[in-house]
Amino acid sequence: MRLGVLDVGSNTVHLLVVDAHPGACPLPAHSYKVELRLAQLLDDGGAIGPKGVDRLVAVVRQALRAAEDQGVEELLPFATSAVRDAVNADDVLTRVRRETGVELQVLSGAEEARLTFLAVRRWFGWSAGKLLVLDIGGGSLEIAYGMDEEPDAAVSLPLGAGRLTAARLPGDPPDPEDVRALRRHVRAQIARTVGEFSRFGAPDHAVATSKTFKQLARIAGAARSAEGLYVQRELKRESLEGWVPRLAGMTVAERAELPGVSAGRAAQLLAGALVAEGAMDLFRLERVEICPWALREGVILRRLDHLGPQ
């Protein structure tokens, strides 16, 4: 069957269309993506303003038309931290439903972590052993650990690259004191969670997902996306530690010239790098392997599991 997953994230609204059935690997058929940056559209009171809601409704309509054009049989729509954290989330969801017919399911941070963990587990298989999974989004950082398809521990922290950039790195290039302050903030937040995971012992395999980690791995020398999904890519902490001060000294335009870095993501790359570096350091990870599957694939896989054998 042809499934569509509509991901209303903190950075983008992304429709992924796949051909899938239970027991088989979902095959991507179409992708439609618009950079909306909802995490940066929150006003001082924590609400998504009228213009932001107008834009969201318009983009959801466009995605819905794209899904219909692609023959999607079932649409799986969800929203993550930007909508979840908005003080007017109920009003936003009501308007989207009323004007588009799409009922967005708002995932909790823990649900995000669990679904991403499921996708990573399916990608690497049981031979990967105990997994530690890191996922940096626009609004939050998810961390999950476990041996099975359900993690033993899963947390979500408000350390998304877009959120931190908008709130704490106003300069271009940023003021060095702002960078130091953000580094302290990030590490203090992550350090609070380390004990929850360390009691399970060291992971057998450390994995990272998300656009932020993919871009950091690319500038550190990983293979281009054009070389295919099945090429192994990794990010070493030593390489990342070398890149953080370089990114801190660059303007947004200069970062956008780096390999694999899009203009829309260049502004938040430094914040993402500080989060990645802090997580890898505090969890004592020398390297992470980049997984091409993440939250959207986890949502698809969970739905296929519920369908059962056909």
Q: What is the CATH number of the domain that holds 46?
A: 3.30.420.40
- What is residue 215's predicted lDDT score, i.e. its pLDDT? 97
Asked whether the beta carbons of 259 and 100 are under 8 A apart, the reply is no
In DSSP terms, 156 is beta-bridged to: 142
* Residue 80 within a domain: yes
Compute φ and ψ for 229, nearest 5 degrees.
Answer: -65, -30
Q: What is the DSSP string of 164-196?
A: HHHHH--SSSPPHHHHHHHHHHHHHHHHHHHHH
* Whether 65 and 198 share a structural domain: no
* Residue 303 within a domain: no
* Whether 162 and 209 share a structural domain: yes
Please report, rounded to a whole number, the percentage of residues in the chain having pLDDT higher than 90.
88
* Whether 22 and 151 share a structural domain: no
Looking at 59, 89, 106, the residue that finishes a domain is 106
In DSSP terms, 42 is beta-bridged to: 48
* Residue 308 within a domain: no
* Residue 247 within a domain: yes
* Whether 255 and 207 share a structural domain: yes
* Whether 190 and 161 share a structural domain: yes
Looking at 79, 106, 133, the residue that finishes a domain is 106
* Residue 302 within a domain: no
Q: Would you call 258 exposed, middle or buried from its count of C-beta atoms within 10 A (0-12, 13-18, 19+)?
A: middle
Q: Which of 177, 170, 8, 164 is nearest to 83 (CA)?
A: 8
* Whether 276 and 202 share a structural domain: yes
* Whether 171 and 65 share a structural domain: no
* Residue 229 within a domain: yes
* Whether 242 and 277 share a structural domain: yes
* Whether 91 and 126 share a structural domain: no
Structural domain harbouring 251: 109-295
Asked whether the beta carbons of 135 and 113 are under 8 A apart, the reply is yes
* Whether 102 and 119 share a structural domain: no
Strand order in the sheet with 153-157: 153-157, 141-146, 131-136, 205-209, 287-290, 234-236
Asked whether the beta carbons of 106 and 84 are under 8 A apart, the reply is yes
* Whether 42 and 178 share a structural domain: no
- What is residue 56's predicted lDDT score, i.e. its pLDDT? 95
Regions of the chain where pLDDT drops below 70: 308-310
Number of domains the chain is built from = 2
Looking at 54, 88, 106, the residue that finishes a domain is 106
| Interatomic CA distance for residues 5 and 208, integer angstroms | 21
- What is residue 310's predicted lDDT score, i.e. its pLDDT? 53
- What is residue 181's predicted lDDT score, i.e. its pLDDT? 98
Please give the distance of CA 267 from its chain centroid, rounded to a whole number.
Answer: 16
Compute φ and ψ for 137, nearest 5 degrees.
Answer: -105, -170
* Residue 305 within a domain: no
* Whether 53 and 186 share a structural domain: no
- Per the structure block, which two tokens stand in for 219? 């500038």
* Residue 43 within a domain: yes
- What is residue 308's predicted lDDT score, i.e. its pLDDT? 61
Taking CA atoms, 80 is separated from 89, 99, 167, 200, 260, in Å, by 11, 20, 19, 28, 25
**pTM of the model as a whole:** 0.95
pLDDT in tens, 210-220: 999 999 999 99
- What is residue 23's predicted lDDT score, i.e. its pLDDT? 85
What CATH number did the domain enclosing 269 receive? 3.30.420.150
Residues 6+ apart with CB under 8 A from 210: 135, 136, 137, 294
pLDDT in tens, 237-272: 999 999 999 999 999 999 999 999 999 899 999 999
